[in-house]
Amino acid sequence: MNHTFQIGTHKVGPGERTTLDLTVPHLYTHTAVSMPVQVINGKRPGPKLFVSAAIHGDEINGIEIIRRLVGLPALRRLRGTLLTVPVVNVYGFVNQSRYLPDRRDLNRSFPGSKTGSLAARLAYLFMEEIVARCTHGVDLHTAAIHRDNLPQIRALVDDPETKRLAQAFGSPVILNSDLRDGSLRQAVADQGIPVLLYEAGEALRFNEFAIRAGVNGIVSVMRELGMLPSRRKKKPRAGPVVARSSSWVRAPQSGILRSLTALGNHVKKGDTMAMVADPFGEKTEAVIAPFSGIVVGRTNLPLVHEGEAIYHLARFGKPETVAEALEAFQLEHSPESSLPLPEEPPIT
């Protein structure tokens, strides 16, 4: 039998589900604010997994991923405990902004402190109340505003347990990242807790494919951890590939951008990826692929200044294999596929 799970003043018995509010600082209007958490405590013991979203307040795909995740009938057979925090940056979310009201980035403020800035205090609360009670974590993000990301996992794949979970997630692209940047992922990894960051879609928009791939990915990770019963073996498909490195392709001049390259495209060194021109089309310059790779991120805004990031290009040993795996992945998670909630009408 599983233990009673304690968080704040709340007790969640085995087989119980509780939604609770973690108190965070008031607004200056005297209005009370809280960070909502749902705890699903399985009847049987197992890992304790947190799934968080909207650390950047305008990145909302993860909120829909969590809504679908906690509605899955399979959770009746949960082993261990699932903690979901759909809106970590409540202040940014209400303002439809990436940042906190003082323009700080919460994902640069971890592990935070009790007496620091508002961002540092939120980060501290999250570390104390959520991370400290968990054995594993998944943090959900999207690209920044006016940008789009191919579904991808970012994780410290030098750690074997993290790598195992990153591969279980099933997104064909994994970026190995070892940044000391004050992110939640960094702070959690520093505690020795395996954590995945899922990046997919764009800010302030829903993306059905990114949402489906996210729900299925978390379910696969939970199966790998033994939190959910494993499924009969599916037909084997190409596994995810860890990128060697990635870099931004930048605007060679300021102007109006005509993109010729989509997310997930495989480009070869020297390919023309886009054109940038002045409004009369008199001064036109091509954006050239600096190396062969897969486009894992891009801007959606066709207005650029010189030096602005246009494409995020990832290097792979065999980019053509990744391109094939991406096609299969796209098919598998298309709204026509039946997983994981056949009755869930797709968001279009």
For Zn ion, the closer CB: 41 or 142: 142
Q: Which of residues 58-97 bind Zn ion (CB under 5 A)?
A: 59
Terminal CA-to-CA distance of the chain, rounded, Å?
A: 42
Q: Do strands 309-315 and 293-299 pair parallel, antiparallel, or not at all (unpaired)? A: antiparallel
State the CB neighbour count (10 A cutoff) for residue 20: 16
Q: How far is the CB of 141 from Zn ion (least distance, A)?
A: 3
- The neighbouring-strand residues paired with 140 are 53, 198
Q: How far is the CB of 15 from Zn ion (least distance, A)?
A: 34
The residues, ordered by sequence, that sit 6+ positions from 198 with a Cβ below 8 Å of its Cβ are 62, 138, 139, 140, 141, 151, 152, 153, 169, 171, 214, 217, 218
CA dist 8 and 38 (Å) reads 13
Q: How far is the CB of 62 from Zn ion (least distance, A)?
A: 9
Selected range binding Zn ion among 68-76, 77-85, 117-125, 136-144, rule: CB under 5 A: 136-144
- The neighbouring-strand residues paired with 175 are 154, 243
Q: How far is the CB of 198 from Zn ion (least distance, A)?
A: 10
Q: How far is the CB of 183 from Zn ion (least distance, A)?
A: 9
8 Å CB contact between 201 and 142 = yes
For Zn ion, the closer CB: 107 or 220: 107
For Zn ion, the closer CB: 110 or 316: 110
Judged by CB under 5 A, the residue of 48, 104, 136, 141 near Zn ion is 141
For Zn ion, the closer CB: 141 or 147: 141
CA dist 117 and 112 (Å) reads 8
Query: What phi, psi does 221 have (nearest 5°)?
Result: -65, -40
Should residue 154 be labelled a site residue for Zn ion when binding is judged by CB under 5 A?
A: no
CA dist 223 and 246 (Å) reads 30
Q: How far is the CB of 336 from Zn ion (least distance, A)?
A: 29
For Zn ion, the closer CB: 98 or 163: 98
8 Å CB contact between 228 and 74 = yes
Judged by CB under 5 A, the residue of 48, 56, 147, 298 near Zn ion is 56
Q: How far is the CB of 333 from Zn ion (least distance, A)?
A: 21
Nearest to 147 by CA among 30, 270, 310: 310
CA dist 333 and 280 (Å) reads 42
Selected range binding Zn ion among 14-22, 54-62, 82-90, 223-231, rule: CB under 5 A: 54-62
9's tokens? 């003043």
Q: Which of residues 247-306 bind Zn ion (CB under 5 A)?
A: none
205's tokens? 């928009």
Q: Total number of residues binding Zn ion (CB under 5 A)?
A: 3
Q: How far is the CB of 263 from Zn ion (least distance, A)?
A: 17
State the CB neighbour count (10 A cutoff) for residue 315: 14
Backbone CA torsion sign across 314, 315, 320, 321: negative
Q: How far is the CB of 146 from Zn ion (least distance, A)?
A: 14
Selected range binding Zn ion among 26-34, 135-143, 234-242, 268-276, rule: CB under 5 A: 135-143
Selected range binding Zn ion among 1-9, 72-80, 133-141, 312-320, rule: CB under 5 A: 133-141
Please report, as ranges, the residues that interact with Zn ion according to CB under 5 A: 56, 59, 141
